[in-house]
Amino acid sequence: MTKPRQHSARFKTWENLAESGSFEEAFAAMEEAIGLLEQGGMPLADMTECYELGLRLSKRCATLLREAELKITQLDDSFQADSASLATSATPTLFDLNG
């Protein structure tokens, strides 16, 4: 008879967070996984799964950071374009030298 896995519920939660968790949730779970690995004392199968989930959580965090960086860049570019457009169209003409 096999012994029930001690961390299976936690690992299932981490698996879900690696798929669809927020950055903060995934980062906290990744830190928890690191702590478990550093603590040691788990069966090899659990350590291997914990390590794999830690990598997946890390990938989730990196993806979310890249998406946020892209959005910020797009917003900044849009703001710069709007500012330049406003600067040229909103400048009042004080003197009409052509007329």
For 42-63, what is each residue's pLDDT tens digit?
999 999 999 999 999 999 999 9
Residue 69: exposure state from Cβ atoms within 10 A (0-12, 13-18, ≥19): exposed
Does residue 2 or residue 24 have the better pLDDT?
A: 24
* pTM of structure: 0.76
- Work out the mean pLDDT of the chain and round it to a whole number: 87
Find the mean pLDDT for residues 81-97.
66
What are the two backbone dihedrals, phi and then psi, of residue 93, each rounded to the nearest 5 degrees? -90, 115
Find the mean pLDDT for residues 19-45.
96
For the chain, give every domain's residue range.
Answer: 8-77
**What distances in angstroms separate CA 96 from CA 53, 65, 93, one per listed residue?**
69, 51, 7
